[in-house]
Amino acid sequence: MGKKKKKKPQRWQIIGLLKDKTKSNQEIADLVGVSRKCVITTKRNYKKISVVKELRRSARPRNSTSRDESYIFRKIRINPTTSYRQLALLRIIMKSFRDLFNYRLSLIKSTRVFGISTGFFAYVTNVIVFVS
């Protein structure tokens, strides 16, 4: 079960009661109608950033970039009957080309850096890479 968001007035009420230092965390939780853990978390977040907004939660990292998504949407607009399997294959091909391109760029950059440090200026523009 996910966490239920607490409203800002509730959080400010918790902070106000905590500043009085007359009640325990459990008493504050009972008064406001939240859990003891919520009181402790609100107190910790307020001490950390001096704001009562809810901190961002971690999420699963994205597998696709916005570039991939826009490409897929473009493909679907062109041909709405494209299957998931075809789109997945297109995405894998795009990713391998992107990785290959980034690898080529890193090779070119490393040769330029090598040339600058040694005084030997040779720019490699056609790097052939075989991916197996």
Residue 103, Cα to own-chain centre: how many angstroms?
24
Yes or no: say if 64 and 49 are a contact pair by the CB < 8 Å rule.
no
Q: Give the residue ranges of DSSP H helices in the chain.
A: 8-20, 25-32, 36-49, 66-78, 84-118
In tens digits, the chain (132 residues) has pLDDT values of 555 666 777 888 888 888 888 888 898 889 888 889 888 888 888 888 877 777 677 778 777 778 778 877 888 888 888 787 877 777 777 777 667 666 665 655 555 544 444 454 444 444 444 444
pLDDT of residue 127: 46
Helix (H, G, I), strand (E, B) or coil at 120: coil
pLDDT of residue 75: 81
Helix (H, G, I), strand (E, B) or coil at 2: coil
pLDDT of residue 72: 78
Print the SS3 string covering 24-53: CHHHHHHHHCCCHHHHHHHHHHHHHHCCCC
91 is written with which tokens?
A: 């995405």
Which own/partner pairs from 56-63 qualify as long-range (CB within 8 Å, at least 24 positions apart)?
none
pLDDT of residue 129: 45
Question: Could you give the CA distance from residue 6 to residue 34 in angstroms, rounded to a whole number?
Answer: 8
